[in-house]
Structure 1
Amino acid sequence: MRIIYWSDFNCPNSYIGLVRLKRATDELDLDVEWEMKPFELYPTLFNKPTNSITTQNIIKYGITPEDAKAKIEETEKIALNDGLRINYKDIQLTSSRNAHRLVRYVQKKHSNLSQDLIFKIFEANFIDNKIIADIDTLVEIASSLGLDDIEIRNMLESDSYDFEVRVEEEEAMIMGVEAIPIYFLNISEEQLIVPGAFEKEDFKIALIDLMNGEIESKSYI
């Protein structure tokens, strides 16, 4: 099975959804080839924190500070139900472009480590509240997986894979992707598109339907 998904490291639902989907594939003992594609939730952010996530949500969604705080707290509760003790309210919100560049590089050069890298970046952002735009942070994460520090630093300090990230974000726009996460589940010639962070059991149902060829009468969009 091949799973392609558009996601972002600043999107808590992307983190929650990926954890749920990974658990579903593990419980079904599926052999999966994963590929993450970039979709920057906040494309105008800088490499250093400027606004809190509360302020950013007020600006992005046009809601009150009280509603923004409640939205963040609700997200943390949802994550906790899945065993993820995220600290969303204290996230150091920065550009996710460098993280996406690193993922594209590792998926191409060290594909066997790419999903571990992705989970570690999510953890660094939402649990440890590290600055994921910072090259030192990304080098440290990559190094923890056994990747060469110099190799990764040289890549990140250049503009390598910036073009690829922009192309894949444009691809999402062309395909009509307006919200993340979104998952494209592929087996043989069949494909099922699943938008959003489904519950783990719902992901399992979708995967089973796909494997059994029972998707024609169902829609998850």
Structure 2
Amino acid sequence: MKIEIWSDVMCPFCYIGKRNLESALENFDQKDDLEIIWKSFQLDPNMPETPQGSQAEYLSKNKGLPIQQVEGMMANVTEYAKQIGLDFNLKDAVMVNSFRAHRFIQIAKERGLGDEAEELLFRAYFTEGKNIADEQILKEIATEIGLSEADVQTALQDDHYAYQVKQDIQQAQHLGVRGVPFFVFDNKYAISGAQPVEQFSQTLDKAFSAWKSEAKPKFHVSEGDSCSVENPRGCI
């Protein structure tokens, strides 16, 4: 069963939602029958590709709120993250366009490493204060998850990966997604936002039961003597 997740690397609730889903999966006996697919989404596609001051300054300007209020909001989300084991360091977050990071996610996803790429990009942005648009940072992450530096260059230069990012965003728009994280279970059930672990568990159970009941039955074969194209002499 597929679980599709629309996310932006710069979204704190996407990291929190990821961790809450993972906590729900720890107690889900059928997790080996799940396929998790990360989808790109950009909260601010117009953000420059060069660092733009502190997160507090950026949010204050874009939301029209006093910087003290924004700092209070950041402190609240930091505490929320701490309760589930995440160490946020928002004052050092590098505000930069996330498109290049999403291109990297696409090639990682193609190689079966989408979840690993998401995790390390979240950590780089929210904990380590790294520039997720910087090619060298992306190369370091690539090496850590088992990709090569050449893979990063391909992701940043090949228009195929830019197209994949845009396709994910268009699909989100078609679904009416207005914010992230947004989780879709088997194209039938959805969770919007960083819901509690219990909500993920309930939706997992419901979606999986529906998926399993609709799945085609598998063949159960009792083997006996036979002729096969692989071993025609076995018939003699």
With normalisation by structure 2, the TM-score equals 0.83
Match of 1:201 among 198, 208, 219: 198
Q: Residue in 2 aligned with 1:128?
A: 128
Tell me how far apart the structure 1 counterparts of residues 148 and 13 of structure 2 sit (CA, whole Å): 31
* Cα deviation code 1:162-219 (max 9, x no counterpart): 1221222122122211111110011xxx721111101112211221232344xxxxxx
Contact 1:73–1:89 (Cα < 8 Å) also in 2: no
**Whole-Å Cα distance in 1 between the matches of residues 59 and 146 of structure 2?**
36
Partner of 2:8: 8
Say yes or no: does 1:40 pair with 2:46. Answer: no
Q: Give a deviation string over 1:110-141, Cα, whole Å, max 9, x none.
A: 11x22111101111111111000001101110
> SS where residue 139 of structure 1 aligns?
helix
Q: Mind listing any 5+ residue stretches in structure 2 that lack a counterpart?
A: 211-236
- How large is the RMSD of aligned CA atoms in angstroms? 1.7
- The aligned residue for residue 153 of structure 1 is 153
Cα distance in 2 for residues equivalent to 1:174 and 1:10: 22
- Give SS of 2:45's match: coil
Q: Which one of the candidate residues 188, 199, 203 is aligned to 1:191?
A: 188
* Larger Rg, first or second structure (1 or 2): 2
Question: How far apart are the structure 1 equivalents of 2:28 and 2:80?
Answer: 23
Give the corresponding residue for 1:217.
none
Contact 1:10 1:125 in 2 (8 A): yes
Partner in structure 2 of residue 83 of structure 1: 85
Aligned equivalents of 2:18 and 2:107: distance in 1? Answer: 20
* Structure 1 unaligned spans of 5+: 214-221
Which residue number in structure 1 is paired with residue 96 of structure 2? 94
Match for 1:73: what amino acid? A
Letter in 1 for 2:155: M
Q: SS state of the match for residue 21, structure 1?
A: helix
Q: Which secondary structure state, in structure 1, belongs to the residue aligned with residue 132 of structure 2? A: coil
CA contact 1:101–1:160 (8 Å) conserved in 2: no
| Per-residue deviation, 1:70 | 0.7
- CA offsets, 1:134-162, max 9 Å, x none? 01101110111121222322332444411
Structure 1 contact 48–131 (Cα < 8 Å) conserved:
no
Per-residue CA distance 1:58-86 (angstroms, 9 max, x = gap): 12222111111111110100000001011
Deviation string, structure 1 residues 25-81 (Cα, Å, up to 9, x no partner): 122131221111111112112222113111111122221111111111101000000
Corresponding residue number in structure 1 for 2:64: 62
Hey, what does 2:221 align to over in structure 1? none
**How far apart are the structure 1 equivalents of 2:20 and 2:105?**
20
**Residue 144 in structure 1 maps to residue 141 in structure 2:** no
Instruction: Supply the distance in 1 between the matched residues of 2:41 and 2:114 (Cα, whole angstroms).
Output: 17
Secondary structure at the aligned position of 1:72 is classed as helix
Same amino acid, percent of matched pairs: 28
Once residues 137 and 39 of structure 1 are traced to their aligned partners in structure 2, the CA distance between those partners, rounded to angstroms, is 20
TM-score, structure 1 as length reference: 0.88
